[in-house]
A and B are shown apart, each in its own frame.
Chain A
Amino acid sequence: MNKILLIIQREYLSRVKKKSFLIMTFLGPLLFAGLMFGAIAVTMNDKSVYQVLVVDPYAVITRVDSANQTLYPRFVDQFKDDERIIYSFTRKEVTPEEFKEGQYQVMLQVDDVTINDGKCNFYYKKFPGESVQRKVGDDLEISLERFRVVDSLQLDYEKYKRAKMNVSFADINVANLGEEDKTQEKAVIGFVFAIMIYMFIFMYGVQVMRGVIEEKTNRIVEVIVSSVKPFQLMMGKVIGIGLVGLTQFLMWVILSSIVATVGISFFSSQIAGGAAVVENAQMIQTGGGQAAMMAELMNNQAINWFFQINWTLMISLFIFYFIGGYFLYASLFAAIGAAVDSETDTQQFMLPVSLPLVFGYIVSAMLIDNPESGAGNFFALFPLTSPVVMMVKATMSTTSVTMILLSMAILVITFIAFIALAGRIYRVGILMYGKKASYRELWKWIRYNP
């Protein structure tokens, strides 16, 4: 058998047979899905009933029933009790201490600041969750609006309502006419991809480095390079470990789709029954928290964009950029491993190598708010950051096929150059012991005759 294949085989098998690999492969997606669904489940399954006290000393949103002298909401349709919220009202001042001692779980204090600026203190003993807070907030907002329209402006609320308009954008990229673009939402998915690329490159790149250090400190490298060329050994290791990464990724895709299918069907049946989790889509878009975002994701209408993403393309791109980025960084990690005598000596080389990767990660995070930035375009082409950044841009469809192909070409050319360079450091480094490798030393190694 070809020797490089033998090395790939050993590197691959010795790793996938490890317990830690199996645990990561099976537990990874479960853990990930568990965290996300867990967060939603907590908010959805929280069926506890909250007693909400609305304090209205200025009498703007409450009215007194003359018959029984009891306070009621002033505006019909607002502050109605439902299965999770029971409202009570008072016009007396209630101090936080009194609230703390009292029976209510939540207290809303409508003071002059609230009336003028809409800022309201929301006291709670235990945070009731997004949906309760949103319902209370909506009730207060509309009540205050009606108060201002009717009392201050002396207008008819029904007329006002007819005049009032909410503007909402349908994002349409002219390149994809006919379909509404959900760039923001896609960005989140793109970012998840970027995190995964970042994580995978780092995880497996470091494994390459560890493997090289192990062989070097073990001195087995001397035996092996008397049978194969150092370059073959390096490439065998890089490819073998890369395949481990791909295997793990594919297993995650398969397992995640299973978990997601089961999870989504379970939760959508829950949502269909409850119906009211997502009431105000705009509010969610402007930052309703992760759980709400996921809830929206599962909402039938909102889920459309989820299928707008070309998953086959994204997974193919992921595989390409993982391979490209991995080769690029793994070759550098292999060179670092060869240059040092122990893992503790890697620090000085690790920083400059990991910095661009971390930078790519930060740029990706910024792209979510600023998808078309020029810097984003640059880093999507720059080979040390493109694997991470381009994943976000591609998911958001804020780049063109030409750009993707160009970034791929640059990435391939660079990784070939890096592998060649790393190979030169590697073949000298693995046989060099006890010599503190400086950058100058490495440069010397690169120019040595083999």
Chain B
Amino acid sequence: MSTLLSIQEVSKRYGSHVALQNINLEIQTGHVFGLLGPNGAGKTSLIRIINQITAPDEGRVIFKGETLRPEHIAHIGYLPEERGLYKKMKVGEQCVYLAQLKGLSKQEAVKRLTYWFERFDIMAWWNKTIEDLSKGMAQKVQFITTILHEPELLILDEPFSGFDPINAALIREEMLRLKGLGATIILSTHDMGSVEELCDEIGLIHQSNLILSGPVKQVKNQFKQHLYEIEYIGTAMELGIALGHQFELMDHQVLDGFNKAKIKIHGELKLNDLLRSVMQNSEILSARELVPDMHEIFIQAVTQKQQEL
């Protein structure tokens, strides 16, 4: 596996305000990287540095083994959170213009646009102005302009906001397809569901600092609390006896014909040990480990950091 983008000790200040402090990140080729963080954490500043809209005060950005330079723009596609197109310009004309700015020839741009417009079934919009389109329609157009030049690195800032579920699914599908074709994606979003579904790695920025990063699985493991949920047939008293001092009953619910218990395992013990103990006087219906979801991890990491400060 190779690194497509490497952010090394990047810092950025605006006057006295520190936007980014000593950020280090590695983004692997062909992966979806979730760039997370509360509002105002510094995500946009980092994205702007990668897009070369601004330059870092310290540190450097390496793209495919080379220091980031203007020629790399043609390999990067950027969908900003705040979408915008020229309202009075015709859709087709506008897409050609933006593609040309990304280095495509006019002919090539028209050819590719025709393909995408047909694919998204929006050919009829070609001669309409953006004013005439709904917000969701304009978003679709903007998504096309972002990926038209077949960038190796896609930076998508809240790509699903403003889309209805059908179109959001369409965009999600396209992202996965592009990933399959080898594109690397930086996904900046507050929608933790899509992070869990799409991302291979994440980086969490909070108050200008990177406070958490790594493969999703690894991050989740890091936040595991060794909690298990068991559904069983038996009584709570019997379960209590079986658990002894090695296991801690965190929560217990009596349901229709069976019970549900949330149990924490201490020390070096494993799920097998728990099951062995419970099996003695109860019938186990199911057992699973309770892994925190990204939403919980996000909140936990951010509040933890805030308490530290």
Contacts and interface: CB of A to CB of B under 8 A. Distances in A.
Given A6-B100, A227-B101, A450 B76 contact: no
A220 B73 CA distance: 16
A229 B70 CA distance: 9
Contact of A223 (B48, B88, B145): B145
Interface string A428-450: 00010000000000001000111
Given A6-B101, A448-B15, A14 B80 contact: no
A223 B89 contact: no
B98 A227 contact: yes
A228 interface: yes
B84 A449 contact: no
B82 A222 contact: yes
A119 interface: no
Interface in B5-39: 14-15
Contact of A218 (B55, B70, B85, B101): B85
B78 interface: yes
A218 B14 contact: no
A431 B53 contact: yes
B97 interface: yes
Q: In which size bucket is the chain B interface?
A: 20 to 34
Given A6-B100, A219-B80, A226 B85 contact: no
- Which residue, of A1, A221, A225, A226, has the highest number of chain B Cβ atoms within 10 A? A226
A3 B51 CA distance: 17
Interface string B199-217: 0000000000000000000
A10 B98 contact: no
B101 A224 contact: yes
Nearest to A225: B53
Contact of A1 (B14, B48, B73, B100): B100
Contacts of A1: 100
B102 interface: yes
B177 interface: no
Given A218-B86, A218-B87, A448-B15, A223 B55 contact: no
Interface residues of A, number: 26
A226 B83 CA distance: 13
Given A226-B78, A227-B73, A450 B84 contact: no
Which of B51, B73, B100 has most A Cβ within 10 Å? Answer: B100
B43 to A, nearest CB: 14
Contact of A220 (B51, B70, B84): B84
15 contacts: A6-B101, A218-B85, A219-B84, A220-B84, A223-B78, A223-B80, A223-B98, A226-B73, A226-B80, A227-B73, A227-B102, A230-B53, A431-B53, A431-B54, A448-B15
What are the 5 tightest A-B residue pairs by CB atom distance, in nearest-first order?
Answer: A219-B84, A219-B82, A218-B84, A220-B84, A227-B101
Interface of B: 14-15, 48, 51-55, 57, 70, 73, 76, 78, 80, 82-89, 97-98, 100-102, 142, 145
Given A14-B89, A215-B86, 19 more contacts: A3-B101, A214-B87, A220-B85, A220-B86, A221-B84, A222-B78, A222-B82, A222-B84, A223-B145, A224-B98, A225-B53, A226-B52, A226-B53, A226-B78, A227-B73, A227-B98, A227-B102, A431-B54, A448-B15
